[in-house]
Amino acid sequence: MDVGANAGLYTLFVRACAADAGIGLRAIAVDADPEMRARLAFNAAASGATDDILVLPYAAAGEDGPLRFAVNVASRGLSHVDPAGGLTVEGRTILSMLTEAGVTRLDAMKIDIEGHEFPALEVFLRDAPRALRPRLVICETSHE
pLDDT in tens, 92-136: 999 999 999 999 999 999 999 998 899 999 999 999 999 899 999
Average pLDDT, the chain: 94
**Secondary structure (3-state) at 51:** coil
DSSP letter assigned to residue 71: -
The pLDDT of residue 143: 59
The CA distance from 101 to 56, in Å, is 9
- Predicted structure pTM score: 0.93
pLDDT in tens, 13-37: 999 999 999 999 999 999 999 999 9
Q: How far is CA 138 from CA 10, 19, 99, in A?
A: 11, 20, 21
The pLDDT of residue 144: 55
Q: Sign of torsion, CA 110 114 115 120? A: negative
